[in-house]
Amino acid sequence: MATLTYYGHSTWALDTKGTMVLIDPFLTGNTRTQVAAASLSPSFIIVTHAHGDHYGDTVDLAKRTGALVIANFEIANYAQKQGVANAHAMHIGGGHEFPFGRVKLTPALHGSSFPDGAYGGMPAGILLEVEGKRVYDAGDTALFSDMRLIGEGGLDVALLPIGDNFTMGPDDAAKAAKLLGARTVIPQHYNTWPLIAQDPQQFKRLVESSTDSRVAILEPGDRFEIR
């Protein structure tokens, strides 16, 4: 059974059949986790966009473990210039089969530049198909109506930002949940800093009163079994 482990902010580990896939590995400087990057050994790293709170520890992790970095073309090339040996470039709307499952990059309405100002290509969401389950990580995004299309094939889990200011806030994220129709919605990208402080219980009440989805609120370190 595939499981998700939450490391705070928008950082996740997907474990499937003995393989760890790390998503947006922001660990160093992440105020919501006590896990050090050095303690994790992913085989794959997926990056939604180039901002430091998502690209995070990608380079150090990939160099140490040999993990394959999966990202848009610009991020993959940038990582390789920083010494990452293994990278797989994709782009919005494209999908690819990896040993652990299928990855498709979806649109996200946001920005994408590296901390040094270099262009990071278009931001993305991630649609994952593993062990017969479908997981959507919206990344950092505003609400957009085509989320309905992302949910058309059925979703088991949707990871949605709720922090507001830089991404959707709780109200728009609840509308996104309605468009997506996922069985389970999990909030992310909140409470890392005061600027994105939110009450996840209020979000849970909003979603569960207006949709058929249930909301699972995870604390950093919590695991969620994708059933």
The domain 3-218 is placed in CATH, from the list 3.40.50.300, 3.30.450.20, 3.60.15.10, 3.40.50.2000, at 3.60.15.10
pLDDT of residue 202: 98
Q: Which two tokens stand for residue 33?
A: 């986790």
Residue 61 is predicted with a pLDDT of 98
DSSP3 helix / strand / coil % (the chain, rounded to 5): 25, 30, 50
The reported pLDDT for the residue numbered 200 is 98
pTM: 0.98
Q: What is the pLDDT of residue 64?
A: 98
Quote the strand ranges of the chain, DSSP E.
3-6, 12-16, 19-23, 44-46, 68-72, 87-90, 95-98, 101-107, 124-130, 133-137, 157-161, 184-188, 214-215, 223-225
What's 113's DSSP letter? B
- pLDDT values of the chain reduced to their tens digit, one per residue, 227 residues: 999 999 999 999 999 999 999 999 999 999 999 999 999 999 999 999 999 999 999 999 999 999 999 999 999 999 999 999 999 999 999 999 999 999 999 999 999 999 999 999 999 999 999 999 999 999 999 999 999 999 999 999 999 999 999 999 999 999 999 999 999 999 999 999 999 999 999 999 999 999 999 999 999 999 999 99
Predicted confidence at residue 79, as pLDDT, reads 98
The two three-digit tokens of residue 179, written as one number: 């468009």
Three-state DSSP at 119 gives strand
C-alpha to C-alpha distances, 132 to 86, 100, 222, 227, nearest whole angstrom: 27, 11, 22, 10
Q: Domain limits of the chain? A: 3-218
How high is the pLDDT of residue 18?
95
Counting every residue written for the chain, the total comes to: 227
Report the alpha-carbon distance of residue 155 to residue 184 in Å, rounded: 8
